Amino acid sequence: MRPAGQRPGDEDRARQDGPDRFVLPVGELPTRGPISTDMPVPAVAVAVGAHPDDIDFGCGATLAKWAAHGCVTHHVVMTDGSKGTWDPRVDTTALVTTRRHEQERAAAILGSSSVTFLDNVDGELASDATQRRALCEVIRRLRPTVVLGHDPWRRYRLHPDHRHAGWITVDAVVAARDPLFFPDTTEPAHRPDAILLFEADDPNHIESIAPFLDAKIEALMAHESQHRSTMGIDSSEAGEATAAFYRAVERQAAEHGALASLDKGEAFHRLACS
C-alpha cells in the first residue's frame, strides 16, 4: 500500500535516487558550511549591473582575474545612468552618452569582451516580464557558465534599481534555463552552472583578487562623471580624495578577503542553477 499523501510514481523515484538522495522541490533547509573560495575559471561569465560602474564596484577584480585566465567576460547594464549626477542643470542626453563611453573603457580595462546596454531609464527600472525577457535573451545568446549580479535579498538596500536588477537577474536565469519560458526567442534555452550575487547579504563565496585590485581601481576611475558624486573626488582636492578612495576600495577588499583568510577578496552569495 502506498503511504498516505504519496503520489503515483513517487516510490519509483525514491527507489531510483535512494533514501538519502531524494530532493524535494520545496521546503529544504539551506545548508551552511565553510565559505568557498575561487571557483574554477568559467568559460564564459556575464555580469549584470543596474548602472554603469555597478559591475566594476561589485565584481571588477573577479572579472579581470577570470579574463586574464581565458574566460570570456561580458558586461550587461540595465539602465542608462541618466540620473548619475548632482547637477540639476545637466544635459541628460549627453550624460547618457558619457556614461556609455566610460563603461566601455572600464570594461576594456577589465578585459571584458562586450558591453550590452539595455537602456532603461535610470531610477525607473521594474522587475517585470519585459525586463526578464530582455535579459533572458541576452543570457541565451551569450551562454554564460556563471552569471553575476546584485543580491536582491540584501537588507536595507536604498536604491530601487539595485533591488530590481537583482530580481531581474535571478528571474532571467530561471527563464533562460527552461525552454517553455519565452519559447519564441531566437536562441535555445541555456542553463548556467552558478550565480554569484555581489553586495551579498549573506556571503558564502570569496574570490581572491589581490593581483587584480589595481585593475578594478583603474576601471572605476574610468567613470569620471562619477568621481564627485560616487567616489568623493572633488577637483579642488583631487589628489588627497583620490588616495582616500583607493584606500576605501583596498579596505573593502581586505574585509571581504578576511572572511576566508585571504589577503584581498570580493565576496558573493553563490547559488547553483540546478
Where are the chain's structural domains?
A: 40-272
Question: In angstroms, what is the C-alpha Rg of the chain?
Answer: 21
Maximum CA extent, the chain = 82
Average pLDDT, rounded, for the chain: 91
* Alpha carbon distance 137, 118 (integer Å): 11
- The stretches in the chain having pLDDT less than 50 are 1-19
- Topology (CATH) of 40-272: Rossmann fold (3.40.50)
Angle between the N-to-C axes of helices 213-221 and 54-68, in degrees from 0 to 180, rounded to the nearest 10: 140
Degrees, nearest 5: CA angle 63-68-74: 40
pLDDT of residue 236: 64
pLDDT of residue 32: 72
pLDDT of residue 22: 63
pLDDT of residue 198: 98
In the chain the first and final C-alpha atoms are separated, in Å, by: 33
> Residue 46 in contact with residue 273, Cβ under 8 Å?
no
* Alpha carbon distance 145, 157 (integer Å): 28
Instruction: Give the other-Cβ count within 10 Å of 7's Cβ.
Output: 8
pTM: 0.89
pLDDT of residue 234: 82
pLDDT of residue 274: 75
pLDDT of residue 204: 96
